[in-house]
């Protein structure tokens, strides 16, 4: 979800704005989807149920919608993310990272509900994900309608798949 960095740690962005001759900048993209914290465990050996398995563990910003929006911003596109996070430290961290990456966040904060978390177990060419959708289930069709009716420069709507999988966010 964060933009790539250069070798010195500085943000490495490209601009894909207006072309030669003063052509208008491409229209805004509206992305609808999940915002999560990803806990990624790269296993050094097969998972040993009932015992310890060595590996490397990292916590990263994630979520299909958030990742798509961050990469579009990194490419220099104007992008608005519609989603939901908990009113917790994880939600505040994800929104801060997205904003720093250049994403306009139209993200609902849901009190009393945790920000989504995905535990990713990865080994060789396989991965398994354990998901807690959390506040992502609070996403509502009205959230999307509100953004589309107030964002006059929107030219494309990207709907990630996860909001369609669960009845609470399907609308």
For every residue of 47-60, DSSP letters joined together read --TTS---EEEEEE
Q: Is 31 exposed, middle or buried (0-12, 13-18, 19+ CB in 10 A)?
A: buried
pLDDT the model gives residue 1: 40
DSSP lists the bridge partners of residue 53 as none
Residues 6+ apart with CB under 8 A from 55: 41, 42, 43, 44, 45
Distances from the Cα of 107 to the Cα of 61, 98, 114, angstroms: 15, 11, 14
Using 50 as the pLDDT threshold, list the residues of the chain that sit under it: 1-21
Question: What pLDDT, on the 0 to 100 scale, is given for residue 125?
Answer: 87
pLDDT digits (tens, 9 = 90+) for 124-148: 889 999 999 999 999 999 999 999 9
Closest CA to 82 of 9, 163, 7, 165: 163
Residue 24: per-residue pLDDT: 62
- CA 118 – CA 129 distance, rounded (Å): 6
pLDDT for position 171: 79
Amino acid 25: pLDDT: 63
Phi first, then psi: give them for residue 160, nearest 5 degrees.
-75, 160
79-86, strands of its sheet edge to edge = 104-110, 79-86, 28-32, 154-159
Q: What is the pLDDT of residue 18?
A: 41
The whole-angstrom separation of Cα 169 and Cα 89 is 22
pLDDT of residue 38: 97
């Amino acid at each position: 979800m964060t933009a790539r960095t250069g070798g010195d740690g500085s943000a490495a962005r490209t601009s894909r704005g207006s072309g030669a001759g003063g052509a208008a900048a491409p229209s805004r993209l509206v992305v609808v989807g999940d915002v999560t914290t990803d806990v990624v465990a790269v296993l050094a050996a097969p998972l040993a149920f009932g015992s310890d398995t060595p590996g490397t563990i990292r916590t990263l910003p994630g979520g299909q919608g958030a990742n798509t929006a961050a990469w579009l911003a990194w490419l220099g596109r104007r992008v608005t993310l519609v989603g939901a996070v908990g009113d917790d430290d994880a939600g505040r961290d994800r929104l801060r990272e997205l904003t720093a990456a250049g994403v306009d966040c139209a993200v609902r904060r849901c009190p009393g509900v945790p920000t989504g978390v995905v535990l990713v177990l990865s080994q060789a060419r396989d991965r398994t994900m354990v998901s807690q959708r959390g506040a992502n289930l609070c996403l509502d069709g009205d959230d999307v309608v509100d953004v589309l009716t107030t964002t006059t420069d929107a030219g494309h709507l990207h709907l990630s798949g996860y909001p369609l999988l669960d009845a609470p966010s399907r609308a």
